[in-house]
Structure 1
Amino acid sequence: MSAESRKVLALDIGGTKLAVGVLTADGVVHAFLVEPTLKEEGHHRVIARLFDMGHRAIASAGPGGMAAIGISSGGPLDPATGIVMAPLNLPDWIDVPISDLARAEFGLPAVLVNDATAGMLAEHRYGAARGAQIALYLTISTGVGGGAVIHGRLHRGAAGNGGEFGHVTVRPGGRRCTCGRSGCLEAYASGTSIAARAREALATDTSGSRLADVPAPTAEDVLAAAEAGDPLAVQLWTETTDVIGQAVTDLVNTFEPEVVVLGGGVTRAGAALIDPVRATVARTAMPLAAAAVRIEFAQLGEAVCVVGAAARAFEDLEEYSLVR
């Protein structure tokens, strides 16, 4: 199989959705499937459905065999052993040897990578951070994660979980986070947390918010109500963009990146999210850092972690070819 025609299977395990793709090294996606995670079913059934998606993606990807598998998942995880240890948004997944399970299922070598690290790798190779020497990625979805490229190289951290930007403190002593700490960015800005904050606010609201008419308000509901001028929703959304802007400012001051890429489901808010974040960074970051940085949306959409997992698998194939 020529290097140009090699394909890899990429599996992305998220708290809300599973995504599977088949890709070549140029980043072209030859098959792509997305289904709900249904994490309440437990990890055994989720993995069975994930692998079924993998077989279906391979079957629809056209001629040519698979060379490897790339797997992305929320952390903490151990990339060296391929074990998903205890993802905060997948509470049933304790020490799951996902790489070994994938090898046994598909008969291919498998590599595991943190999902936000995969997102950073994808955007650096093919997307909004392409060519940058220093870049940061922040994914705002069911949880909040991050990744970094430093001097053109992906930063993985000593244990493979570097870039947990969702657990920087934005409100000391604030809301309890799923990580066990208080005041983390994830506790305020994730889609899950925006919805939880709406429920909490409605319990004491006397303004007659339109959100009270929604049985289980989501982050999308909060945004829609805020854009309609609902005072409670405006307050909730303003706090969301404030904490994201504060976190990005701290990261910009720390790393002085060329670009910060924002991805994940919450970024579907578009200008209502990115405009106030850009304004906060421009106003509060160190002047030289603020002048140097671009803040952009991810370009690879819901396939970003699949693309990144595939890119990580291709890295392993390239390294193997060099030492073989």
Structure 2
Amino acid sequence: MATQRGVLALDIGGTKLAVAMVTPDGRTHAFLSEPTDKLRGPDAVIAHLFEMGHRSITAAGLGGPLALGISCGGPLDAAAGVLTQPLHLPGWIDVPIVAMAREEFGVPAVVENDASAAVLGEHRFGAARGADIALYLTLSTGVGGGSIIDGRLHRGAAGNGGEFGHLTVRPGGRDCLCGRRGCLEAYASGTSIAERANDLLAASDRDSSLRSLPAVRAEHVSAAASAGDALAIEVWDETTALLGQAVTDLINLFEPHVVVLGGGVTRSGSQLLDPVSRIAHATAMPPAARASVTLAGLGDEVCVVGAGVLALDLMEDVNV
């Protein structure tokens, strides 16, 4: 029996890099995840990413990849294959990532916004499988979004549509990296959850288990809130309330069959999903309120699988 061939999938996140070989059944092989260390700059990070890709190819034992897909936060120019100025990768200006990948691996390559890649992965192999209208929000270093409309990925006029993280949920609120104030990303990303907890700790002498930690992260806040820490509960309740508000607005706007939540913050599971789903179902207009709100079926590998779907589709387009 012939060995199944695959594609190489690369995900560039603000916190971590992830790679894997992906086969046409959606399975990942030799999945690797390592810190981005973005302050090293694009040349060093991309060299590390490509080195991880070569390791994954060798470890997977499927032979060389037939194509390559890359997911990364925007803004980016997918048609040109260029990372124009990703918000969570400071100093990455007009990086020709597709040309660099083609030269490195010698196969056709494609890049897409990470959340758009993720919604493709969830639509093909995960929690949104078969849905004609599906929305995806990634809650990670930042907050991204992607949508499937009439069974197809919606990209927008210039390819950067679906920036759900920059919905205004609190006018005049916290500063956002996009330059505006009060965006969902400024409240529901893992970065902002930790920052808001630190702000509360610095602003008062309130008792909190978070004070003993050398560096507060979003997972610490969710765990402390679950354990009854009042300060952590305040941060977490604001997070879920504003995320629930944003999901409600998206449901009213798109009337989707399903809204999928993914990214590192969703490792808190029902602690995040239950209040967000409850708010959305209680406040969205009928019949849109019937939309399912669920966690990503592909877990931490969602963006890698999505990048794999991009590469698998590219193979068909170029008849590889």
TM over 0.5, yes or no? yes
Residue-by-residue CA offset, 1:279-304 (whole Å, 9 max, x unaligned): 1011111021112x111100111111
The residue type equivalent to 2:209 in the other structure is R
Residue 156 of structure 1: how far off its partner (Å): 1.2
Distance, in Å, in 1 between the alignment partners of 2:212 and 2:267 is 23
Residue 108 of structure 2 is matched in structure 1 by 109
Residue 42 of structure 1: how far off its partner (Å): 1.3
8 Å Cα contact 1:23-1:31 kept in structure 2: no
- 1:9 paired with 2:8, answer yes
Residue 196 of structure 2 is matched in structure 1 by 197
State which drifts further: 13-22 or 225-234: 225-234
SS at match of 2:66: strand
8 Å Cα contact 1:70-1:110 kept in structure 2: yes
Residue 39 of structure 1 is matched in structure 2 by 38
Residue-by-residue CA offset, 1:21-58 (whole Å, 9 max, x unaligned): 11122212222111111111111111111010011111
SS at match of 1:70: strand
- Report 1:53-132 matches (<5 A): 53-132=52-131
Residue-by-residue CA offset, 1:221-243 (whole Å, 9 max, x unaligned): 11122112222111110000001
Distance, in Å, in 2 between the alignment partners of 1:238 and 1:298 is 21
Residue 241 of structure 2 is matched in structure 1 by 242
Residue-by-residue CA offset, 1:73-105 (whole Å, 9 max, x unaligned): 000000011111111111121111111111111
Q: Give TM-score scaled by structure 1 length.
A: 0.95
SS at match of 2:281: helix
Superposed structure 1 runs of 4+ greater than 3 Å apart = none
* Unmatched segments (≥5 aa) in structure 1: none
State which drifts further: 223-232 or 91-100: 223-232
Distance, in Å, in 1 between the alignment partners of 2:227 and 2:308 is 41
Residue 16 of structure 1: how far off its partner (Å): 0.6
8 Å Cα contact 2:6-2:62 kept in structure 1: no
Q: Give TM-score scaled by structure 2 length.
A: 0.97
Distance, in Å, in 2 between the alignment partners of 1:22 and 1:207 is 48
8 Å Cα contact 1:194-1:219 kept in structure 2: yes
Residue-by-residue CA offset, 1:254-310 (whole Å, 9 max, x unaligned): 00111000000000111110000011011111021112x111100111111111111
SS at match of 2:67: strand
The residue type equivalent to 1:12 in the other structure is D
Residue 220 of structure 1 is matched in structure 2 by 219
The residue type equivalent to 1:62 in the other structure is G
The residue type equivalent to 2:197 in the other structure is A
8 Å Cα contact 1:89-1:142 kept in structure 2: yes
* Unmatched segments (≥5 aa) in structure 2: none
State which drifts further: 296-305 or 204-213: 204-213
1:157 and 1:218, CA in 2 relative to 1: closer, same or farther beyond 3 A? same
Residue 295 of structure 2 is matched in structure 1 by 297
Residue 320 of structure 1: how far off its partner (Å): 2.1
Residue-by-residue CA offset, 1:194-215 (whole Å, 9 max, x unaligned): 1111111112224322222223
Residue 318 of structure 1 is matched in structure 2 by 316
8 Å Cα contact 1:12-1:71 kept in structure 2: yes
Distance, in Å, in 1 between the alignment partners of 2:69 and 2:45 is 17
8 Å Cα contact 2:133-2:151 kept in structure 1: yes
SS at match of 2:17: strand
The residue type equivalent to 1:320 in the other structure is V
SS at match of 2:294: strand
Identity %: 64
SS at match of 2:287: helix
Residue-by-residue CA offset, 1:146-178 (whole Å, 9 max, x unaligned): 100011111111111111100000001100001
1:65 and 1:210, CA in 2 relative to 1: closer, same or farther beyond 3 A? closer
- Report 1:133-212 matches (<5 A): 133-212=132-211
